[in-house]
Amino acid sequence: MMVRVSISSKTFLRSMMILAVMPAMVFSAPAVGKVRMTLGEVDRWKAKQNEWFKINSGAKVYQSDKVRTGVESEVVFGLPDGSSIMIGENTIVEMEKLFEPNDEGGFETKNDVEKGFLNFAVHKLKNKKSKFIFKTGTATASIRGTEG
């Protein structure tokens, strides 16, 4: 016995759209931080985008995001390990790596300060093979657990 099922073209198109979007949703990078507070003009440049977008408190932070602050502006990010990063005014920072596994068996967080300044409160790293790195055009600092 053969049963015939009829679906409308709308249902078929919706199903195809869902199937097309699912792989992107499954393989997108997980959020690795959250915006705790913004003051003034704070924008984000997501990887693979061609413009800056306003970012607000509660927004998630992803690896490879760039964050830019304007005059008299700042943003504070909370990271999963309890550490926090405050990006000051007139600053651009790329969240180059956030809690990425490294070759030594630990995790690595690396922020590239393209311009400006930031403050940090990094919790003591439990795994001695983990690294928390801030990079600038002239220096690189590896933090083991402190504020600065």
What one-character-per-residue DSSP string does 72-111 give?
A: T-EEEEE-TTS-EEEE-TT-EEEEEEEEEE-TTSSEEEEE
Distance CA 99, CA 79 (A): 9
81: helix, strand or coil = coil
Instruction: Report how far Cα 65 is from the mean position of its chain's Cα atoms.
Output: 5
Q: Read off the pTM.
A: 0.70
Would the pLDDT of 7 be above 80? Answer: no
Tokens representing 121 are 């409160």
| pLDDT tens per residue across span 24-55 | 444 456 677 899 999 999 999 987 788 999 99
